Homo-oligomer: A and B are copies of this chain.
C-alpha cells in the first residue's frame, strides 16, 4: 500500500473513518477506475436521492460515462447538479478471532464533482473510442463506428478527478486484540478476485479471433 504523500483535495474527500486507509495517490485512483467496468453514481432528481450503476471509463484526469439522451440520470447530470461516485474492488474477507475485528481487504474510490457534457461528434466519438479501447484494445479499428444518428442519441459526460480519494485496505493478516490471539479459532484471509471465462463466439462469426479474445481467459 502506498503511503499518503499529499493532503486530501477537499474536506469531503478527507477519509474520516480508519484514516490510515486513505490513499490520495493519483495512480491508485486511476488503477481502481481502470479495473472497473461500472461505477455507482449518486445524484438528486425529482425530490429523491438516487444511486445508479453505469458503465465508466477514464481518460487522463477525467472519469467518463455515457447514456441515452432521454434518461433521467443524463437529464439530471446535464442540469449541473453535484454528484458522488463510488467504485469498490473486494480482494479478501479478513477473518479475525473476534467477530468485531473481522474486516475486508478492498480498494475503493469516491469521487465528488459535477459532470460536463462532451460536446461535438468528433469529441464524443474520440471519448467512446477510449471506452472501446478499455473493453478490447484495438477493437475501435474493427467494430463499425457509431454513425451520426447513433452519436446523436448518446450523451457522453465527464467529471474531473480533482476531488477524489482512494481508500485501500491490504492486510496481510487480521488485526486481533492481544487477549484474543490464543483463542482456538481459525484466522486468516479468504481471497477473491474477478476472473475471466472462456469467450463465447456468436453464431454469425466467420472471422479470425482477435488477440483480445484469444488472450481474454486466464
Contact = CB atoms under 8 A, between A and B. Distances in A.
B173 A203 contact: yes
Interface stretch (A1-9, A23-31, A50-58, A115-123): A50-58
Contact of A187 (B48, B83, B202, B216): B202
A80 interface: no
Interface string A31-43: 0000001101111
A40 B205 contact: no
Interface in A71-125: 71-72, 81-86, 88, 90, 92-93, 95-100, 102, 104, 106, 108, 110, 112
Contacts of A216: 190
B188 A199 contact: yes
B204 A186 contact: no
Contacts of A192: 194-197
Nearest to A142: B185
B190 A204 contact: no
11 contacts: A38-B90, A38-B104, A42-B49, A43-B49, A44-B44, A50-B110, A51-B84, A90-B194, A97-B144, A99-B132, A181-B204
Contacts of A97: 143-144
Interface of A: 12, 16-17, 37-38, 40-44, 46, 48-53, 55, 67-68, 71-72, 81-86, 88, 90, 92-93, 95-100, 102, 104, 106, 108, 110, 112, 128, 132, 135-136, 139-140, 142-147, 150, 154, 172-174, 176, 180-210, 213, 216
Contacts of A139: 95
B194 A193 contact: yes
B190 A38 contact: no
A172 B82 CA distance: 37
Contact of A136 (B95, B147, B206): B95
A195 B193 contact: yes
